[in-house]
Structure 1
Amino acid sequence: MDLRNVDLNLLLAFDMLMTERSVTKAAQRLSIGQSAMSSTLARLRKLFNDPILVREGRTLVATPLAESLAQPVHDLMTGVESVLTRRDQFDPATAERTFTLIANDYLTMTFLQPLIARLSTEAPGVRLRIFPTGDDAPARLRKHEVDLLLMPREAIEERIDFPYQHLYRDRYVVAVDRDHPEVGETITIEQFSTLPYVAAASGHQRSLQEMQLDFLGVPRNIEITVGFGMAPFLLRGTRLITLVHETLAKRFEDAAGIRLLDPPIPRLQPITEIMGWTRRTDTDAGNRWLRRAIVNLAADFGSEATG
């Protein structure tokens, strides 16, 4: 095949079609119309003399040839992007750029807030779009829908196949009302299991701490289930207790009117927050700058997180 007669933009379209397995979504990702994407698919079929994608019911399924080409073409596009961005320069003081991140409310309120505060003076043209975490968070990163993923390593069940870095560890503490009538300087496992309890949820799922307590067989007298960022603020003037990340609890200890205690559960494990990105953006100057800023933030944050 003479490459001079091949439009290499077709390979970019092929990579996007194999990633999305949808003409409509691939068109949206490439910012072109669906009809234009359909025409591109027709050109790909002619180029490879293969249907590439065939319809089975309501879904599109890749042919064996397309499947065999998917990874080599993806690696090729990643390499091309790496070459084009290698010499890229990024000056945060003058750059105009929006970065997209996935991070939960807890991370945004406690960890990212200082970075957000600094951007207005150190990088006034830099904007952050922060999306909440979900089951599809790693998949969205792999599809290049976001620039960075920040979430607990323990929440990613599958094998991690993208570059990532540990940021810090955060332990759990028990939070109670500052004037709780039954809990003193310590709390027993019997009190933890019988006092009315605020369970933490992450979206529509149980949080990591609740799953860990279930795994350890620790009973709770659950009266309320809320997002974990809200749990500390429900304790004032009640007998309620909850288990919460230490950094979140310390940040709002005075405002929420709570006291923090060591949990009476010896095998309770902390969480490990990580930052993930893609190989395609590994050498991008802007992405590297943001990663360095977050790593530096984690270095300052780590001593607080580990108590």
Structure 2
Amino acid sequence: MKVYDLNHARALHHLLEEAHVARAARRLGITPAAASNALHRLRVDFEDPLLVRSGRALVRTPRAEKLRAPAREMMAAAERLFMQGRPFDPATAAWDFLLTTSDRVAELLLPTLDRFLRERAPRARLSVRTTMVDIGSFLRDRGGVAVVDGRSLLRDGGGVAAVPELRKDPDLRSEPLFDEDLVCVLRRRHPFAGRLSLARFAALEHVLVAPLGSTPRGVIDTLLEKRGLSRKVTRVVMAFSLVLPLVAKSDRVAVLPRTLAEAHARSFGLELHPVPLPIPRAEMMLAWHLANEQDPKHVWARDLLRHAVRELGLSATCPPPARTSRGR
């Protein structure tokens, strides 16, 4: 384009993200006819159709796919530019707090987080996603915050399915948030209750939580193999809440974070036992994208999560709260 026009960049961004003229028009605050005219101008500027018809839908051309990331980055930079000098006041600001985590961490943190937001940021809208799919895109494209198992960040074969984009993307940042120990969960009056040796543990049928649903293996399999043992995983679920009935109604065993197991042991008729082999504690990490590192809303949201962990008395491994946060 011969003349830089931020409105062209906005139109390009929304048209490419939506791949739909009417939806892009709504996001731009213009009529569909005006969005269609903007698309025509962009096609001339880039000498490419950008969006082409496929059946009843529009699809991006290869050139358009290459333009998506730069357009997104330009809009993020423009937002940061115009936010400079505008102090963020959580007590009065209307904004979106986007969080993705597992169902068990959501259950643990949400009551405290909800109370903090009511007291300190009453106009914030909290959106929580517990389906752990494509976390990297969530952090990059939507500016969200993630709380994930640290083993997902550090190695394959963790207690939950690995999240490779978090390990490979140099623009994603993370820090320890809290950790806790793991316990074996069995139904009451289980044949091996009270005498769960390592050999018996390995011989039982196991339930595994894999949020991505992509693997029947976890860190326990690696630890057992080092001792010449193996286990039989007969149930793989994507949510921690699905483990409890599968254990309560069978002779299966599961290894779960202690907070979750203790919260539901009585209602499901479960017993907690030590894991009969040394196993790393579950280390939960706070993760975000570099583009949002200095965003005042993002800084405040991350600090609020740290504060919620401390309020709950969890084993917090996180640093002190950021001094730039407001609204306390």
TM tier relative to shorter chain: 0.7 to 0.9
Q: Quote the residue 2:84 is aligned against.
A: 86
1:88–1:284: 8 Å Cα contact kept in structure 2?
no
Q: CA separation of 1:225/1:261 partners in 2, compared to 1, >3 Å: closer, same or farther? A: same
| Aligned residue in 2 for 1:156 | 163
Alignment of 1:132-171 (within 5 A): 132-144=130-142, 147-153=144-150, 154=152, 155-158=162-165, 159-160=168-169, 161-171=171-181
Cα deviations by residue, 1:242-277 (Å, 9 ceiling, x for unpaired)? 1112231133334434332222343x4444323333
Amino acid at match of 1:152: D
- Which contiguous aligned blocks of 4+ residues in structure 1 show a shift greater than 6 angstroms? none
Say whether the 8 Å CA contact 1:188–1:264 is kept in structure 2: yes
Shift in CA distance, 29/157, structure 1 to aligned 2, threshold 3 Å: farther
Tell me if structure 1 keeps the 8 A contact 2:149–2:282: yes
Match 1:131 to one of 122, 129, 132: 129
Aligned length, in residue pairs: 296
Superposition map of 1:112-261 within 5 A: 112-144=110-142, 147-153=144-150, 154=152, 155-158=162-165, 159-160=168-169, 161-184=171-194, 187-202=196-211, 205=213, 210-215=217-222, 217=225, 218-220=230-232, 222=234, 227-236=239-248, 239-261=251-273
Alignment deviations for residues 266-303 of structure 1 (CA, whole Å, 9 cap, x no partner): 3x444432333344443333322211111223345574
Residue identity opposite 2:204 in structure 1: L
Aligned AA (1:260) = L
CA distance 1:270–1:302, change in 2 (3 Å): farther
Identity over aligned pairs, percent: 25
TM-score, with normalisation over the residues of structure 1? 0.76
| CA pair 212-122 structure 1, distance change in 2 beyond 3 A | same
Letter in 2 for 1:193: A
Query: How much does 1:225 deviate?
Result: 5.5
| Mapped contact 2:10–2:28 kept (Cα < 8 A) | no
- The answer to whether the 8 Å contact 2:177/2:316 transfers is no
Rounded to whole Å, the distance in 1 between the matches of 2:206 and 2:186 is 10
- Partners of 2:29 and 2:188 lie apart in 1 by 54
Q: Which amino acid aligns with 1:123?
A: A
CA RMSD of aligned residues (A): 3.7
Change (3 A) 1:73 1:230: closer
Q: Distance in 2 between matches of 1:43 and 1:13?
A: 10
* SS of match in other structure, 1:129: strand
Contact 1:15–1:73 under 8 Å retained in 2: yes
Structure 1's unaligned 5+ residue stretches are none
